[in-house]
């Protein structure tokens, strides 16, 4: 199984990967640094611990912590002062809307920093 990871800074364009068939047993994670807004992402891993570890490594900041671990589609939105919100859902579009709503509860000018789905979603 091919593993993928990506390192995105806050405010960068997002990545979506829709797939028709649903995959089971794959894990993804997003890590976040509250001091810098840096985001690390990992998807299509066989365990949640592997996905979480890779996301942390991709985030590459001492204060990075796991924002969300998921099996389907996940999104993180970051706004002013590095306030953030995240969401997961079967649908990437729904996850995006939910992450933006979550972020708006804490800050303003929220933008998607990372959005992706595990293989099969």
Secondary structure class of 43 (helix, strand, coil) = strand
Q: Looking at residue 23, what is its pLDDT?
A: 52
Cα dihedral across residues 16, 10, 75, 72: positive or negative: positive
Q: Looking at residue 118, what is its pLDDT?
A: 96
Kindly indicate the confidence band of residue 39, based on its pLDDT and cuts at 50, 70 and 90.
very high
> In angstroms, what CA-CA distances link 63 with 35, 51, 58, 83?
7, 18, 12, 14
Q: What is the pTM of this model?
A: 0.78
User: What is the overall mean pLDDT for the chain?
Assistant: 85
Q: Which of 5-9, 25-29, 75-79, 102-106 is least confident?
A: 5-9
């Amino acid at each position: 199984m091919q593993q993928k990871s990506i390192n995105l800074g806050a405010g960068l364009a997002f990545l979506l990967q829709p797939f028709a068939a649903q995959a089971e047993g794959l894990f993804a994670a997003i890590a976040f640094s509250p001091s810098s807004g840096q985001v690390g992402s990992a998807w299509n891993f066989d365990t949640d611990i592997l996905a979480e570890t890779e996301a942390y490594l991709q985030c590459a900041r001492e204060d990075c912590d796991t924002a969300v671990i998921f099996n389907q589609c996940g999104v993180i939105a970051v706004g002013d002062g590095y306030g953030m919100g995240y969401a997961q859902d079967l649908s990437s579009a729904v996850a995006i809307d939910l992450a933006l709503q979550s972020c708006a509860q804490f800050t303003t000018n929220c933008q998607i920093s990372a959005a992706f789905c595990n293989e099969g979603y």
